[in-house]
């Protein structure tokens, strides 16, 4: 079963965070979607994939990146509006 989530949280902007942590784990779990900093410290992720992989990805996000734990994590269902073509992208 496919599932899409919009995940937002606050985290210190860490060099390589989007690429080394978020994108790497999303690709490992065969997710598609996007990630971007929408404010200096606010991250927005749209992730779509199998229910099991989305749940695993959410667990990884909650565990944090190195010593940086996310704050104010918000998770909500998301209706897939466009075709991500099987890729997880970083939006600048």
Q: What is the domain partition of the chain in residue ranges?
A: 2-90
Ramachandran area for residue 86 (φ above 0: left; ψ -120 to 50: alpha; else beta): left
Q: Does position 26 have pLDDT exceeding 80, yes or no?
A: yes
Burial of 43 (0-12, 13-18, 19+ CB in 10 A): buried
| Torsion on CA atoms 38, 28, 49, 62, rounded to nearest 10 | -50
Across 13-17, 39-43, 45-49, 77-81, which has the greatest mean pLDDT? 45-49
In angstroms, the CA 55 to CA 82 distance is 21
pTM, entire model: 0.89
Query: For residue 15, what pLDDT is reported?
Result: 66
**Residues 48-61 pLDDT 10s:** 999 999 999 999 99
The residue among 42 and 16 whose pLDDT is bigger is 42
> For 35-40, what is the mean pLDDT?
86
Give domain 2-90's CATH number out of 3.30.70.100, 3.20.20.70, 3.40.50.2000, 1.20.950.20: 3.30.70.100
């Amino acid at each position: 079963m496919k599932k899409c989530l919009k995940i937002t949280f606050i985290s210190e902007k860490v060099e390589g965070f989007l690429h080394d942590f978020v994108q790497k784990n999303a690709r490992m779990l065969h997710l598609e979607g996007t990630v971007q900093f929408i404010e200096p410290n606010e991250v927005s992720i749209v992730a779509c994939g199998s229910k099991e992989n989305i749940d695993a990805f959410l667990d990884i996000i909650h565990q944090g990146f190195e010593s940086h734990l996310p704050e104010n994590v918000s998770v909500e269902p998301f209706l897939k509006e466009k075709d991500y073509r099987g890729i997880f992208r970083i939006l600048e």
